[in-house]
A and B are shown apart, each in its own frame.
Chain A
Amino acid sequence: MTGMPDKNNLPLLKVQNLSKFFGKHIGCYDINFELSPGEVIGVVGESGSGKSTLLNCIAGKTQPTNGAVFFNSSDGYIDLCMSDEAQLRKISRTQTGFVTQNSRDGLRMGISAGGNIGERLMANGMRNYSQIRKIALKWLETVEIDPARIDDLPETFSGGMQQRLQIAANLVTEPKIMLMDEPTSGLDVSVQARLIDVLRKLVSRLNLSMVLVTHDLAVARLMCHRLYVMKNGKIIESGLSDQILDDPRKPYTQLLVSSVLKP
């Protein structure tokens, strides 16, 4: 990915000693990383390695057992693990976005595409119909959905379109961070390519920061500046994407990289 992250700014997100246990079972353990503005971080690993648990802890959807997630909000650093629910919900509808693997979880299927995009605007106090409409149309165009479909239900959209709609519905309030949980899984390769294309454009245009959880190494290489490899809830290797994927050091990472099917 082109364009290096801005090093002059303070990190947007500081994850410190983050752990989550489910009873005796480890969700994720002692996770540390920082995310700079404009940076895309990839978290890769096999199913059950704790990637999604980590993301849910950062998003405030799961309360971690231990550790802290400092978010550089407009009021300075806030520990998301210590903040109350009202504050968390406010941050998650203004300053962070969350894209789920299954778009049904992130969209309201019975509400039109325009309504889905408009919800965040209305939640933040916008009360002007034409203005909401105008912004919704602009965002549909940005994520390459035909604006004529603004009044259609997401149910009538293809899987790839639903994912792009979900991204638009999140980006409409211009959040600082996008958290993505396997946004490309379940899509066929050409649709995947288009989604990645849209995402890359958005990252470079909006200077968007992203934490991308994926098990797809090809997506990780295309999207991410840095990669974290997780296994059994722990980060076992981290570094620049190309470095990790071309020259993996840990045996597990080597296995992971060599397991990718090549046509």
Chain B
Amino acid sequence: MSHQYNFAYLDEQSKKMIRRTMLKAIAIPGFQVPFGGREMPLPYGWGTGGIQLTAAILGKTDTLKVIDQGSDDTVNAISIKTFFKTTADIAVTESTKDATIIQTRHRIPETPLRKGQIIVFQVPIPEPLQFIEPRRRETAKMHAYQEYGAMYVKLYEDIATYGRIATAFDYPVQVNHRYIMSPSPIPKYDNPKLNQSPAIHFFGAGREKRIYAVPPFTDVKSLDFEDHPFELESWNEPCSICGSTISFLDEIITDDEGTRLFICSDTEYCQKRSQGVGS
């Protein structure tokens, strides 16, 4: 372990401030709480928000899993894991089951989360109303007075243009029947996993300096119209590695002739399944 840094890089005062903000976020499900985001040794957009939250809640006995687009071994995931191994000397894992804290970019693992686990999301744009109403002052009021007509305007525009709700990721949800929340850019396939989940979900936006949360066992409803209900993505073929028909698949182009392959986005899930099938 390097002795140049405080445990988990951030100083204790910063961690305390972030933890207080996180408690407030847990107390008001879906509400974006501003916090004094710190400079981190990586650029905005690479997970500065998520890293700060992870640093603030990390304990010596924690086991950390980091995924990027469902994968355990992309650059972003490996770097963040190495970062916390170096600065906090904690155990890392690829197993969703064994992890106590999971930091993620763009996915919720296929393996269901359990009670006691904390999942930390890296969030680029925390404000779901931003594309309709760019004025921050105004969106704050819209949240305060629960004026969410504008959010439906976005879905209306989707149906008017594409004939269906074409929003496939960052699909807006209403948390605990109150605040409308942007569930980081996870695919809408993962939205139902937030509903009544036994785990704690924290969302950290580093550039926008905002934290919000979904506490365990909270209702999370994806917005929709009566005559255009919320629908999940589906694929015509199973994963070509593990054969799963119930996981989120990535489309991979394998040559210049346009040959396509569909494989699980969650690498750990896929690996476990193919090993299980093989043995």
Contact = CB atoms under 8 A, between A and B. Distances in A.
B160 A114 contact: yes
A151 interface: yes
Interface in A101-151: 108, 111-112, 114-115, 118-124, 127-130, 132-133, 150-151
Contacts of A130: 227
A124 B149 contact: yes
Interface string B140-155: 0100110111101100
A190 to B, nearest CB: 31
A86 B157 CA distance: 27
B149 A122 contact: yes
Nearest to A125: B149
Contacts of A150: 160
A93 B157 CA distance: 20
Contacts of A123: 147-150
Contacts of B152: 118, 122, 127
- Interface core residue of A119, A120, A122, A130 (most chain B CB under 10 Å): A122
Interface residues of B, number: 20
Contacts of B145: 85-86, 89-90
B112 to A, nearest CB: 30
Interface in B126-175: 132, 141, 144-145, 147-150, 152-153, 156-157, 159-161
Contacts of B153: 108, 111, 115, 118-119, 122
Nearest to B225: A129
- Interface core residue of A89, A112, A114, A123 (most chain B CB under 10 Å): A123
Nearest to B133: A108
Contact of A115 (B157, B227, B228): B157
A129 B228 contact: yes
Contacts of A111: 132, 153, 157
Contacts of A151: 160-161
A118 B154 CA distance: 11
A248 to B, nearest CB: 43
- Interface core residue of A93, A119, A129 (most chain B CB under 10 Å): A129
B226 interface: yes
A129 B153 CA distance: 10
Contact of A108 (B132, B147, B225): B132
8 contacts: A114-B160, A119-B149, A122-B153, A123-B147, A129-B156, A129-B228, A150-B160, A151-B161
Across chains A and B, which 4 residue pairs bring their CB atoms closest together, nearest first? Answer: A123-B149, A122-B152, A122-B149, A129-B225
